[in-house]
């Protein structure tokens, strides 16, 4: 038998809709665990992961900067 989810999926969807509609963070504590649902527009500090090409270009530029006097 699988373990019961802390918060049902329907509740998670409802909280996500509230967070997005009202641009607020929704916080729920259950069984000593705090769960926060934050709308995506408040995550401005997070940057997307660079692509492999961007990582390669940055590594090349760093290598070239070290080699030039």
Evaluate if pTM is beyond 0.75: no
Any idea which residue has 């995506």 for tokens? 40
Task: Give the tens place of pLDDT for each residue, 40-65.
Answer: 776 665 667 789 999 999 999 999 99
Any idea which residue has 């607020």 for tokens? 24
Which residues, at least 6 apart from 12, have a Cβ–Cβ distance to it below 8 Å? 37
Task: Give the tens place of pLDDT for each residue, 9-24.
Answer: 999 999 999 988 888 8
């Amino acid at each position: 038998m699988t373990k019961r989810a802390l918060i049902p999926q329907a509740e998670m969807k409802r909280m996500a809709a509230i967070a997005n509609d009202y641009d607020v963070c929704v916080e729920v504590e259950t069984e000593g665990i705090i769960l926060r649902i934050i709308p995506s527009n408040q995550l401005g500090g997070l940057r997307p992961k660079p692509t492999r090409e961007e990582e390669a270009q940055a590594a090349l530029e760093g290598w070239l900067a070290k080699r030039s006097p």
